[in-house]
């Protein structure tokens, strides 16, 4: 059986705000089909001769390995580039870098800081641009999260997803992804660490169309009541190291621990985008419990990246 290719040729993946609910469901279906092919040992190499440029201004484990392995499994080649490998690190403009790379490769994936950088890259590139992570959004992670939830719960619409912690790029991506597929999403965060208003407003607008709810609260105890899925992330992200001690104090009441999860449904799932700091944002007892699907979640990054690549590069 050949995997179904849902062509998104000509699109960039900068944020899931730009994708319809149908396109997101198509990507998840394709990711599932590709996963089954791999588990069955069926080679599938439709991207033979294609090259993906991978720009890393932030280091990565899951993003680099999943994209590189995914491109290889599909028959293509992935080229790892960091700031030291590119003239962008010596003052070449984003626009010129985009124009030059477009002469050589079939797609560009970038993991960087400012979201404006990836927007400029996409503006001037003539090949698809994929957001591997910015300070504002993490759409590839959110797609892998949805796939993991669907595999376990056999549904998405109507579930309650609760994110506890910093209102960061992961929270932004989750809100949008949840709203697009009709999941209720609650973000529980300390005062002053709420998700950006533009993402909250965008998620609420989408939720009106899909019949879901988006809530931002400062009470983790109230948030996790009757939760189907509990999600957290590190309290100090890359670039925030100087705030580490302050954040440890502020976020302590938002730790996902054995007491907190008692408020969730008995069959709740625990998710974390990893890397995790055990006994900071989550206790070892929760992340290593039978409720935890963090490694399945990490594994699904591979299948989602393959679906993204195949969809954006399909003819």
Q: Give binding residues for carbamoyl phosphate as ranges.
A: 60-63, 87, 111, 138-141, 273-274, 301
Cβ neighbours of residue 144 under 8 Å, at least 6 residues apart?
297, 298, 300, 301, 303, 304
How far is it, in rounded angstroms, from Cα 29 to Cα 23?
10
Sign of CA dihedral 207, 274, 111, 307: negative
64 part of the active site: no
Structure tokens at 84: 């030291």
**Cα 244 from chain centroid (whole Å):** 23
301 part of the active site: yes
138 part of the active site: yes
Element (H, E) at 117: helix 115-124
Residues belonging to the binding site are: 60-63, 87, 111, 138-141, 169, 233, 237-238, 273-274, 301
Single out the catalytic residue among 233, 247, 297, 305: 233
Specify the residue for token string 């198509």: 26
Residue 20, CA atoms < 13 Å, CB-side half-sphere: 5
Angle between helix 294-313 and helix 139-153 axes, rounded to 10 deg: 120
Single out the catalytic residue among 12, 228, 272, 273: 273
Residues belonging to the binding site for L-ornithine are: 169, 233, 237-238
273 part of the active site: yes
Single out the catalytic residue among 115, 247, 301, 303: 301
Specify the residue for token string 């080649």: 77
Single out the catalytic residue among 115, 138, 172, 247: 138
C-alpha closest to that of 271 among 262, 203, 105, 261:
261
Single out the catalytic residue among 111, 247, 272, 303: 111
Single out the catalytic residue among 12, 26, 106, 141: 141
Catalytic residues: 111, 138, 141, 233, 273, 301
């Amino acid at each position: 059986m050949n995997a179904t290719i849902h062509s998104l040729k000509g699109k960039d993946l900068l944020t899931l705000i730009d994708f319809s609910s149908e396109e997101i469901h198509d990507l998840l279906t394709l990711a599932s089909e590709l996963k089954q092919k791999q588990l069955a040992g069926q080679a599938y190499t439709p991207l033979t001769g294609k090259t993906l440029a991978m720009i890393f201004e932030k280091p990565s484990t899951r993003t680099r390995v999943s994209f590189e392995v995914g491109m290889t499994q599909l028959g293509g080649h992935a080229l790892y580039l960091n700031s030291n490998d590119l003239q962008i690190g010596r003052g070449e403009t984003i626009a010129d870098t985009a124009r030059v790379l477009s002469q050589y490769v079939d797609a560009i994936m970038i993991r960087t800081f400012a979201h404006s950088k990836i927007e400029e890259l996409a503006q001037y590139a003539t090949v698809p641009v994929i957001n591997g992570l910015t300070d504002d959004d993490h759409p590839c992670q959110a797609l892998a999260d949805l796939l993991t939830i669907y595999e376990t719960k056999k549904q998405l619409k109507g579930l309650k997803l609760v994110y506890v912690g910093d209102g960061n790029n992961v929270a932004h991506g989750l809100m949008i992804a949840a709203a697009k597929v009709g999941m209720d999403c609650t973000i529980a965060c300390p005062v002053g660490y709420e998700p950006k208003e533009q993402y909250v407003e965008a998620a609420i607008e989408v939720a009106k169309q899909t019949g879901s709810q988006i809530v931002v609260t400062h009470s983790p105890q109230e948030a996790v009541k009757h939760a189907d899925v509990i999600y957290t992330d590190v309290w100090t992200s890359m670039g925030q190291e100087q705030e580490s001690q302050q954040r440890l104090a502020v976020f302590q009441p938002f730790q996902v621990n054995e007491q907190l999860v008692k408020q969730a449904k008995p069959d709740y799932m625990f998710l974390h985008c990893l890397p995790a700091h055990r006994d900071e944002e989550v206790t070892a007892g929760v992340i290593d419990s039978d409720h935890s699907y963090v490694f399945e979640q990490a594994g699904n990054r591979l299948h989602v990246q393959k679906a993204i690549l195949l969809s954006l590069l399909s003819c």
